[in-house]
Copies of this chain bind each other. A is one copy, B any other.
Amino acid sequence: MKNIILASTSTIHGSDFLEYLLDDLEDLFGAIDEVLFIPYARPNGVSHDDYTNKAQEAFTKIGLTLHGIHEHQDPQTALANAKGIFVGGGNTFVLVKALYEKGLMPILKERIISGMPYLGTSAGSNICGLSLGTTNDMPIVYPPSFSTLGVVPFNINPHYLDPDPKSTHMGETRETRIKEFHKFNDTTVIGLREGSFLRVWNNSIVLNGDLNARIFEPDEPAREVKTGTDLKIYLNK
């Protein structure tokens, strides 16, 4: 039993924070009135309070109350009692380090697996994969492990970017980086373009949004999957 949305990005160009996802968030969080927000990824180094206020603004539009986990004296208990969770984007290393140091990883995993509604955007989606090994973020802090929740049986690369054929830049393309990942890891990687999200419900993992996703497996050419595809085949891999 799982009830999850994993989005490539919180925000699409020219739109407000979470705006493009609001209908789907009503579906995800339908039965509850209050969501616990985990602001630890701190995009641009924003404070926990400011990030929580920004998320609250969006959630207010669908009649949901949001509280930051940092407002609770005991984050483990707050997480154990949460009705639903939103983990926002930012820096994946900062997020993962905080989750480990506060002892939240196993509780979060158990809650997601037992069906608590979960929204992740960007870094918050990344941590639902098997490792943080396909984040785009800079390693600005050293987490005790790169292993993450593994509530989906693959890794996610959020904000997936296609190579620019006109570029003269010699730094690696995203596809090259993911192929390098596969020299050292067997995990399937889903490149989620901005505006795409995965809707996990029980054993189905359906690609949503206007765009296709790009799937990378070791020793195979990358391939495109159409929006609407159920990726549950990866559950048995």
Chain A positions near chain B (C-beta within 8 angstroms): 9, 11-14, 42-45, 90-91, 93-94, 132-142, 145-146, 158-159, 161, 168-172, 176-185, 194
Pick from B91, B133, B168: contact of A180, CB under 8 Å:
B91
In the complex, the count of this chain's copies comes to 2
Given the known interface contacts A13-B168, A159-B170, A170-B12, the answer about A184 and B141 at a Cβ–Cβ threshold of 8 Å is yes
Chain B residues with CB under 8 Å of A135's CB are: 138-139
- Check if B44 sits within 8 Å of A138, measured CB to CB: no
A-B contact pairs, 10 of them (CB 8 A): A133-B141, A136-B138, A136-B171, A136-B172, A137-B177, A138-B180, A138-B181, A139-B139, A139-B146, A161-B171
Q: Chain B's nearest CB lies how many Å from the CB of A133?
A: 5
Pick from B42, B90, B132, B159: contact of A139, CB under 8 Å:
B132
Chain B residues with CB under 8 Å of A170's CB are: 9, 11-13, 159, 194
Given the known interface contacts A140-B181, A180-B44, A184-B140, the answer about A171 and B146 at a Cβ–Cβ threshold of 8 Å is no
Q: How far apart sit A170 and B135, CA to CA, in the bound complex (Å)? A: 15
Q: A94-B184, A135-B139, A141-B184 are in contact. List 19 more A-B contacts (CB 8 A).
A: A11-B170, A14-B168, A42-B183, A45-B182, A45-B183, A94-B180, A132-B139, A133-B139, A134-B138, A136-B172, A137-B172, A138-B177, A138-B180, A139-B139, A139-B146, A140-B177, A140-B183, A159-B169, A161-B169
Chain B residues with CB under 8 Å of A179's CB are: 44-45
Q: Chain B residue with minimal CB distance to A142? A: B146
Chain B residues with CB under 8 Å of A140's CB are: 133, 177, 180-181, 183-185
Q: How far apart sit A43 and B9, CA to CA, in the bound complex (Å)? A: 28
